[in-house]
Amino acid sequence: MKKSVSSESRRRLLAGTGALAALWPVRILAGEVGSSGALGFAEIPDGALAEQHLYALPGKVPLIKKTYRPPNFETPLEYFRTPITPNNAFFVRYHLAGIPEVKAADWTLTVGGESAGRELAFTLDQLKKEFEPAELTAVCLCSGNRRGLFEPHVTGVEWGVGAMGNAVWRGVRLKDILAKVGVKSDALEVVFDGADHPVMDKTPDFVKSLPVDVALDENTLIAFEMNGKPLPHWNGFPARLVVPGWTGTYWIKQLISVRVVSKPEANFWMSTAYRLPRGKFKTPSFKSQVGSANEPITTMVVNSLITSLKSGQQIARGKPIEVKGIAWDGGAGIARVDVSFDLGASWQQARLGRDLGRFSFREFALAVPARERGAVVVMARATSRSGETQVEQLIHNPAGYHHNVIQRLYLEVV
């Protein structure tokens, strides 16, 4: 097996791990809310970490508060110990502070645009009665998930590991609705707007677009149910866009407008925000939105999260070191997860849990006995069916996207 670190480097690091555990920051030992150091990652900046705490929005369990206005709340680690994230623990992400309470009976979805054959409006009852239902399990992940773990740090909401969730989404296929209005041959993008709105005149409305082929994909849904129940208010009631495999910036909540257009959407949230240096990642290109230096973020990169252990934890000799967690990617599906107990010098293949679909979290587990006293560095590395593997070194980018560095947990066997 190819070694990822030299034996000398590994020896020095492991030799120092016992001292590291003894001097581990108080915030980890005390379980400071949202500490990423406890998960083996770089710590969230002190100012941001000090500001966050657990807070329960109406209808939610206590989540990790990032900002109140607009509301941005992260899911705590314990809710990722099952493959489906409960509705009341699902993370909350908004860009705009004006979030109306939309009543299902008053809601309509307008579908049209210059490259549509006609314009139609649909009520929620019409969507449920006039279209074939569709259902799938998919991860919704904020593009900036793990931004707070970047070194050096970058600006933006300093998310830890919990700006994500996995749910069973039920609704109707967007392509069936677009077929009702007709899509002209010159259609290039489909543009989406929600009921949320800015509270200041100079703040741009949050509007996003997708390539027409992605909008017409059979897996792209307008969902009105989440895990068998109506969408929570904070997650887009009464209906939202679901774009499996693509990051959450495209999953417009409280969807009220769909427009088929023949030119690239040029608003701030497409032309300036949510962009990456061109060619930085091996993700699909949003060709109509590519600039000379940058391009929009599209699909998620392969990643994993250990949920059963924390750095600084002590394991009794002879007891098993139980490594459990979840893995996901942008839609190819998870092929394997490998676990190392020696800083990557060797790897063992973990057992994968039930396959809930290629867009879903996939559980993994592996247990080995703790035979010798001393330091242990546990790592997990996911590989997708497309051959994409997590990285050992951060791929830095100014907006803080696609953090998928292999996790390292520092344990001590006593």
- Give pLDDT tens digits for 375-392: 999 999 999 999 999 999
**The pLDDT value given to residue 27:** 44
CATH topology classification for 7-43+301-413: Immunoglobulin-like (2.60.40)
At residue 411, does pLDDT exceed 50?
A: yes
Closest by CA to 39, choosing from 220, 277, 279, 308, is 308
- Give pLDDT tens digits for 87-97: 999 999 999 99
* Contact of 311 with 40, CB cutoff 8 Å: yes
**The pLDDT value given to residue 208:** 98
- Phi, psi (rounded to 5 degrees) for 376: -135, 135
CATH 2.60.40.650 placement within the chain: 7-43+301-413
At residue 8, does pLDDT exceed 70?
A: no
SS (H, E, C) the chain: CCCCCCHHHHHHHHHHHHHHHHCCCHHHHCCCCCCCHHHCCCCCCHHHHHHCCEECCCCCCCEEEEECCCCEEECCHHHHCCCCCCHHHCCEECCCCECCCCCHHHCEEEEECCCECCCEEEEHHHHHHHCCEEEEEEEEECCCCCHHHCCCCCCCCCCCCCCEEEEEEEEEEHHHHHHHHCECCCCCEEEEEECCECCCCCCCCCEEEEEHHHHCCCCCEEEEEECCEECCHHHCCCCEEECCCECHHHCCCCEEEEEEECCCCCCHHHHCCCEEECCCCCCCCCHHHCCCCEEECCECCCEEEECCCCCCCEECCCCEEEEEEEEECCCCCEEEEEEECECCCCCEECEECCCCCCCCCEEEEEEEECCCCEEEEEEEEEEECCCCECECCCCCCCCCCCCCECEEEEEEEC
Average pLDDT over residues 356-373: 97
- Give pLDDT tens digits for 129-181: 999 999 999 999 999 999 999 999 999 999 999 999 999 999 999 999 999 99
pTM of whole model > 0.85?
yes
Average pLDDT over residues 190-217: 97
At residue 118, does pLDDT exceed 70?
A: yes
**The pLDDT value given to residue 21:** 42
Q: How far apart are CA 308 and CA 310, in angstroms?
A: 7
R_g (Cα) of the chain, nearest Å: 22
- Give pLDDT tens digits for 274-310: 999 999 999 999 999 999 999 999 999 999 999 999 9
CATH 3.90.420.10 placement within the chain: 92-296
Q: Calculate the average pLDDT of the chain.
A: 93
CATH topology classification for 92-296: Sulfite Oxidase; Chain A, domain 2 (3.90.420)
For 125: left if phi > 0, alpha if psi spans -120 to 50, otherwise beta; the answer is: alpha
CA angle 384, 385, 387 (to 5 degrees): 70
- Give pLDDT tens digits for 65-77: 999 999 999 999 9
At residue 342, does pLDDT exceed 70?
A: yes
At residue 355, does pLDDT exceed 50?
A: yes
At residue 28, does pLDDT exceed 90?
A: no
Task: Report residue 31's pLDDT band, with 50, 70 and 90 as the boundaries.
Answer: low
